[in-house]
Amino acid sequence: MNVQTPNISTDRPVIRQLDEAAINRIAAGEVVERPASAVKELVENALDAGATRITVDFADGGKTLIRVTDDGCGMGAADLPLAVARHATSKIDGSDLLNIRSFGFRGEALASLGAVGRLTITSRTAGEDAAQITVTGGRLGPVRPAALSRGTVVELRDLFHATPARLKFLRTDRAEAQAIAEVVRRLAMAEPLVGFTLNEVSDGTPRTIFRADPQSGDFFDALHGRLTGILGADFTGNALKIDVERDGLHLAGYAALPTYSRGSSTQQFVFVNGRPVQDKLLLGALRVAYFDVLSRDRHPAAVLNLSVDPERVDVNVHPAKAEVRFREPEAARSLIITGLRHALSGAGHRASSTVGAETLAAFRPEPPMQRPAQSSLWQVNRPAASALAAAFAAQAPSLPPAQEPGFAEAPAARIDAAPIAEPASSHPLGAARAQVHENYIIAQTADGIVIVDQHAAHERLVYERLKRQQAQQGITRQALLIPEIVELSPTDATRLLDAAPALEEAGLVIEAFGPGAMAVREVPALLGQVNARALLLDILDELADQGQSQRLRARMDAVLSRMSCHGSVRSGRQMRPEEMNALLREMEATPLSGQCNHGRPTYVELKLPDIEKLFGRR
């Protein structure tokens, strides 16, 4: 039975030269994927023009209107036809495609937008009159005089009207509007000294949905103010300043404490030379830096900018420039991991302030009794103070003549003389005052109280102690009596062999055993009995996804975590005051003691004013 393939013809195909309009529409499919892509290209052009204030207006999710207004350097009348031509740009001269220091450099954005929509550019540069040009479906209009004080206004109407099939693949207006807002937010984080305004236009009336005023000061002060406005004061109040430099790479920004973790990765923002990217290498390094302090279902929050010489990074590997390629990828990855881990260790016992706020919110004080209306009838029926005193005296329990006033029965618990109280103001976590429910230590600080989960806190302390011992003594390997042979594809076997030196440092010794097979000769003794095939497959998955595997380290840390759990103070154990204070002092001296091995907080701090509010004293 002969089945004819629809894509194969018996006739010889004819090679044709596509016209300019078709070429532009095809190119637009890569550059302009959705309205948010158009906003990104236009705002980046405004930033390259040196704008200090940028306003974005859009309607119907950007499908019918996108307008970007800036106060940048502008363009002259002679520049406008070139600006909308393909591969025409002022960013580079074409002699060095690696030394790129601007957002745009391909010269495709405006030509692509004019090919699929109705594009109008009005611009004015210093010393010249304003001019305007229109491009509709790839057809270029004449340059006309216009009225504009300064800068550039780019207006795009009826996006994809020249390629209506693309409209069927767009999402709802609300989803597209959210994508536009996310693009503007990311660019606003990248440029804290620039003001951004995002307006949604409905029936000709603009409604501001996002506004970020220009910040002042140095980079960190400006970024702190910008992130406070975008991500909220909770993030900046619980974020650590990151400022590390090594081998010509500079990592700067803010990373949140582990106890400020999120349920998704929506608060992870990574930039390379100020360019927002979604790069697997960098985001993977961010996860690795936190993997020892967060559970699998939690994600860190961070805003990080990696500055590198443009000649050491290639930004021209993705149509939307969302990914980059480093000349030394391991150096960039290592800087992020070590920089973040050093900052987290330097935070010591610090925990997120949101933990205390969530604790206070969990309290449900009884609603105050409704006082009767101050009526004359209530005043008449209210008993006098002397009558109340007589009534209370009559209701008091009678005592034997020889017994002093006090409890009629013996106390239910033995009461010992309290030791000399340790001053609360001399330590960050205060001095232990009590233990309740045989698991929670109540400590008094200079301006509040601290509630410590004794088991979770001691578990982290023992865990960090075990890790230090392992780092000092090295990883003990156990040789297999009979090496285990694992059959793999030649590609996977080659990938494992490339990673063999790093795996050997982690305690796993492997070697080639014929084509497409690996022999596992030694494994970390700490892991005990190991399923070698499952372990190698897990390592291969990580190598394919991130270029480097932390699987062995994660498994060994998991064993240490279980050991620390069984070796720590158990819930239900009564502790003496000196033991409780010793635990608090060790927490203050141990990095990462603010969260347990699973990322949960080990203590909650409540300030005295907040406690007084619970009782209506403020």
Q: One-letter amino acid identity for 153?
A: V
At 14, the pLDDT band (50, 70, 90 cuts) reads confident
pTM of whole model > 0.85?
A: no
Q: Which two tokens stand for residue 337?
A: 């991991």
Rounded CA-CA distance 515/370 in Å is 84
Residue 141 has pLDDT above 70, yes or no: yes
Q: Would you state the pLDDT for residue 202?
A: 92
The whole-number average pLDDT for the span 318-324 is 73
Higher pLDDT, 360 or 230: 230
Evaluate whether 305 touches 274 at the Cβ level (below 8 Å). Answer: yes
Rounded CA-CA distance 288/292 in Å is 8
Q: Helix, strand, or coil here: 450?
A: strand
Residue 403 has pLDDT above 60, yes or no: no
The whole-number average pLDDT for the span 126-148 is 93
Q: Would you state the pLDDT for residue 387?
A: 55
Residue 125 has pLDDT above 70, yes or no: yes
pLDDT in tens, 234-270: 999 999 999 999 999 999 999 999 889 888 899 999 9
> Strand pairing of 477-487 and 517-524?
antiparallel
DSSP 4-18: --TT--SSPPPP-PP
Nearest to 200 by CA among 188, 191, 210: 210
The whole-number average pLDDT for the span 90-111 is 65
Rounded CA-CA distance 131/144 in Å is 6
Q: Would you state the pLDDT for residue 399?
A: 44
The number of residues in the chain equals 618
pLDDT in tens, 457-481: 988 888 888 788 777 877 778 888 8
Q: Would you state the pLDDT for residue 392?
A: 45
Q: Helix, strand, or coil here: 70?
A: strand
Rounded CA-CA distance 196/592 in Å is 37
In the chain, the domains with their CATH numbers are: 20-212 (3.30.565.10), 219-347 (3.30.230.10), 353-361+421-618 (3.30.1540.20)
At 106, the pLDDT band (50, 70, 90 cuts) reads low
Q: Would you state the pLDDT for residue 21?
A: 66
Q: 3-state SS of 169-184?
A: HCCCHHHHHHHHHHHH
Residue 404 has pLDDT above 80, yes or no: no
Q: Would you state the pLDDT for residue 365?
A: 55
Percent of the chain scored above 70 by pLDDT?
78
At 418, the pLDDT band (50, 70, 90 cuts) reads very low
Select, from the ranges 347-351, 413-417, 609-613, the one with the highest average predicted confidence (pLDDT): 609-613
The whole-number average pLDDT for the span 286-302 is 87
Select, from the ranges 16-25, 251-260, 308-317, 410-419, the one with the highest average predicted confidence (pLDDT): 251-260
42-56, 97-111, 340-354: range with lowest mean pLDDT: 97-111
What mean pLDDT is reported for the chain? Answer: 82
Q: Is 212 exposed, middle or buried (0-12, 13-18, 19+ CB in 10 A)?
A: buried
Looking at the DSSP bridge assignments, the partners of residue 314 are 325
Nearest to 60 by CA among 154, 195, 177: 177
Q: Would you state the pLDDT for residue 388?
A: 46
89-98, 170-179, 187-196, 249-258: range with lowest mean pLDDT: 89-98
Q: What are phi and psi of 254, to 5 degrees?
A: -135, 140
Looking at the DSSP bridge assignments, the partners of residue 555 are none
pLDDT in tens, 550-599: 666 666 666 666 667 766 676 778 888 999 999 999 999 988 888 887 77
Q: Would you state the pLDDT for residue 372?
A: 47
Higher pLDDT, 507 or 570: 507
The whole-number average pLDDT for the span 152-162 is 91
Helix residue spans in 73-131 (DSSP H): 80-83, 109-116
Residue 222 has pLDDT above 90, yes or no: yes
At 618, the pLDDT band (50, 70, 90 cuts) reads low
Q: What are phi and psi of 587, to 5 degrees?
A: -60, -40
Residue 47 has pLDDT above 60, yes or no: yes
Q: Would you state the pLDDT for residue 537?
A: 85
